Amino acid sequence: MYKEEFMRKAIRLSIDNAKKGGGPFGAVIVKGGKIISAGVNKVTVKNDPTAHAEMEAIRNASKKLKRFSLKGCELYTSCEPCPMCLSAVYWSNIDRIYFGNTKKDAAKIGFRDDFIYHELSRPILKRKLRITQQLRDEALTAFEVWDLLDNKTEY
């Protein structure tokens, strides 16, 4: 259930982080009407290109709940998630996303979210990043092993 207080918290985090020189992004994860984790963009602080606000909030929530599935949780984020963060939301099974700024807003101040979304919609051979498949037959062995496991943890 959407609550403005949660969105305002994500926005406050983004503003505070921007004032400190970090990326202008903040996120909170809510479960049962309470904030269980928060995150701000720490890409430059950690020298980690994956340390986006949403990723930090997801990592913190998973650690707190001691599980990789965040089913039953909602994400409030100051900006529409980039493709990496959106994928992480899907992988973590978060129920819903609420966001403030759009990917177009982010593009106006130099962030590449919109470019990456566009690239992902293109065929592999037409993308700017060169991508080459190698040794598929050997790589399939791991998938075959996984597929045959009886005691695997599905995700």
Residue with tokens 């092993």: 145
Residue 74 designated active-site: no
In the chain, which residue ranges form alpha helices assigned H by DSSP?
4-19, 43-46, 53-65, 83-92, 103-108, 113-120, 136-148
Report how far residue 5's alpha carbon sits from residue 95's, in angstroms, rounded to the nearest whole number: 18
Q: What whole-number distance in Å separates Cα of residue 6 and Cα of residue 20?
A: 21
Indicate which residue of 4, 54, 74, 119 is catalytic. 54
Enumerate the β-bridge partners of residue 98. Answer: 76
* Catalytic residue set: 54
